[in-house]
Amino acid sequence: MDRLAPKQYPLEDLTVLDLTVALAGPVATLLLAGLGASSGPGASAAPASVQAALTSVNRRTLRTVGVPTDVVRPTKIGGDGARLLGTDGKPEILFVGAEYCPYCAAERWALVVALSRFGSFSGLKATYSSLSDVYPGTRTVSFYGSTYTSTGLDFTPVEIATNQAVGGRYGPLQSLTSAQQSVLDRYDRPPYTSQPGAIPFIDIANRSMMIGASYDPGVLQGKSIGEIAGALSHPPSVIAQAVDGTANALVAAISQATGVQPIR
pLDDT, tens digit, 9 for 90 and up, residues 1-38: 222 222 222 333 333 333 434 444 455 544 323 232 23
Amino acid at 13: D
Look at strands 169-172 and 161-166 and give their pairing: antiparallel
Phi–psi pair at 102, nearest 5 degrees: -65, -30
What's the number of CA atoms in the CB half-sphere (13 Å) around residue 66?
A: 4
Beta-ladder partners of 199 = 28
Q: How confident is the model at residue 264 (pLDDT cuts 50, 70, 90)?
A: confident
DSSP assignment of 77-126: PPS-PPPPB-TTSSBEEEEEE-TT-HHHHHHHHHHHHHHTTTSEEE--EE
Q: What is the pLDDT of residue 18?
A: 38
- As a whole number, mean pLDDT of residues 208-217 equals 95
Main-chain phi, psi angles of 110, to 5 degrees:
-70, -35
19-24 sheet: strands from edge to edge = 19-24, 27-32, 198-199
**Amino acid found at 160:** I
Tell me, what's the pLDDT at 190?
A: 87
36-89 confidence digits (pLDDT tens): 223 344 578 888 999 999 999 999 999 999 999 999 999 999 777 788 998 999
What is the C-alpha radius of gyration for the chain, rounded to an integer number of angstroms? 17
Q: Whole-angstrom Cα distance, residue 239 to residue 246? A: 10
Domain ranges of the chain: 11-258
